[in-house]
């Protein structure tokens, strides 16, 4: 081997090592986000002229576009607009289902939700529906599919009735086949402090539209920053609002909508992929929905990234 070649080889090895060392956890979150976007929205197609032995070129068709303008006040979601949205329920022996909470798909096996959803008087969460839009219609442009909950993973620091660490995961009985109707939200790359607005979605929350809606609804909400420090006085928060682990989000206008489903996501659009979302928060407490300018508390997902990564690794 010539000296130049040895030098080249050394450089190559060094580059590889640097590459591997740069695979920090955030890089992994970015990678899996990009992978989902590719799997669902990109298609490799052969392009050729119509004569014999014409050369074939491969091109990627990318159908990831079209984030929708958001409207303050609740409006029905469009078909395929929120593929990570899950609904959690209790299904009894007679196959009657009571819907309890919302959730967010974050991998092909895991659904993120609020830990308090596991303590519903309606029963244990044992079923998850994905790909649904309107519960009252089977003619809507949706592909609903039910999954059995195989394992419930509550955050170890959660303590029922307190609102701290209100985060949990559900392991589904089988892998979700990703499509434009069902695929995960990306984990947050940032903590959400700099986001001006969020999108909350849901069907069920009493305070979302005054009553349960059969249609999935969306609402644009505003980041209230540290305002919850002074506006919150709850028995469930004996140590007060926690800036590190919670987000304070509300609506500046008096609307009949102020929240998503408990356990459901507050989302931000991905900066580069308009077809993808980050799950920034989990709807935790719907206090003060009757009043404009009184924010609610959401679990800040970014704070729990290490725990989420551990559970994601275990589920694979």
Ligand X SMILES: *[C@@H]1O[C@H](CO)[C@@H](O)[C@H](O)[C@H]1NC(C)=O
Known catalytic membership, residue 262? yes
**In Å, what is the CA distance from 152 to each residue of 125, 155, 173, 186, 233?**
8, 10, 11, 21, 30
Instruction: Give the contact letters, 228-247, x = binds to ligand X (CB under 6 A), - = no.
Output: -----------x--x-xx--
- Angle at which helices 305-315 and 25-41 pack, to 10 degrees? 60
Instruction: Give the contact letters, 145-164, x = binds to ligand X (CB under 6 A), - = no.
Output: -x------------------
3-state class (DSSP) for residue 233: coil
Minimal distance in Å, beta carbon 165 to ligand X? Answer: 7
Nearer to ligand X, 10 or 148 (CB): 148
Closest CA to 102 of 260, 251, 253: 260
Euclidean distance between CA atoms 155 and 102, whole angstroms: 17
Known catalytic membership, residue 138? no
Q: Which two tokens stand for residue 300?
A: 């800040």
Selected catalytic residue, list 166, 213, 251, 284: 166
Euclidean distance between CA atoms 147 and 120, whole angstroms: 19
Q: How many residues belong to the site for ligand X (CB under 6 A)?
A: 6
Answer for the pair 70, 220: CB distance below 8 angstroms, yes or no: yes
Selected catalytic residue, list 116, 155, 270, 278: 116
DSSP states of 102-132 as a string?
EEEE-SSSEEEE-GGGGG-TT----EEEES-
Selected catalytic residue, list 107, 213, 262, 285: 262
Nearer to ligand X, 91 or 270 (CB): 91
Minimal distance in Å, beta carbon 52 to ligand X? Answer: 51
Known catalytic membership, residue 166? yes
Out of 53, 95, 139, 230, name the contact with ligand X by CB under 6 A.
95
Q: Which two tokens stand for residue 50?
A: 């119509």
Is position 94 an interface residue for ligand X (rule: CB under 6 A)?
A: no
Nearer to ligand X, 26 or 146 (CB): 146
Minimal distance in Å, beta carbon 213 to ligand X? Answer: 19
Nearer to ligand X, 104 or 245 (CB): 245
Query: Residues interacting with ligand X, by CB under 6 A?
Result: 95, 146, 239, 242, 244-245
- Active-site residues: which are they? 116, 166, 262
């Amino acid at each position: 081997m010539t000296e130049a070649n040895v030098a080249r080889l050394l450089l190559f090895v060094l580059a590889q090592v640097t590459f591997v060392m740069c695979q920090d956890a955030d890089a992994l979150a970015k990678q899996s986000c990009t992978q989902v976007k590719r799997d669902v929205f990109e298609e490799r197609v052969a392009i050729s002229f119509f004569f014999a032995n014409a050369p074939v070129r491969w091109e990627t068709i990318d159908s990831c576009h079209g984030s929708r303008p958001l409207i303050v006040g609740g409006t029905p979601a469009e078909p395929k607009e929120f593929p990570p949205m899950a609904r959690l329920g209790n299904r009894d022996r007679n196959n009657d289902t009571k819907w309890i909470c919302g959730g967010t798909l974050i991998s092909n096996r895991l659904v993120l939700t609020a830990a308090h959803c596991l303590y519903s008087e309606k029963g244990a969460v044992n079923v998850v529906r994905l790909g649904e839009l309107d519960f009252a219609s089977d003619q809507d442009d949706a592909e609903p599919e039910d999954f059995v909950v195989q394992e419930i993973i509550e955050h170890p620091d959660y303590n029922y009735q307190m609102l701290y660490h209100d985060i949990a995961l559900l392991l589904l009985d089988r892998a979700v086949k990703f499509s434009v109707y069902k695929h995960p939200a990306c984990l947050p790359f940032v903590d959400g402090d700099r986001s001006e607005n969020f999108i909350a979605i849901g069907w069920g929350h009493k305070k979302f539209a005054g009553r349960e809606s059969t249609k999935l609804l969306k609402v644009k909400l505003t980041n209230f920053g540290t305002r919850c420090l002074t506006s919150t006085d709850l028995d469930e928060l004996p140590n007060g609002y926690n800036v590190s682990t919670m987000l304070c989000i509300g609506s500046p206008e008096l609307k009949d909508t102020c929240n998503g489903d408990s356990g459901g996501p507050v989302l931000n659009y991905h900066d580069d992929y308009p077809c993808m979302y980050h799950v920034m928060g989990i709807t935790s407490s719907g206090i003060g929905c009757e009043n404009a300018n009184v924010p609610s508390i959401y679990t800040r997902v970014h704070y729990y990234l290490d725990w989420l990564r551990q559970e994601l690794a275990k589920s694979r």
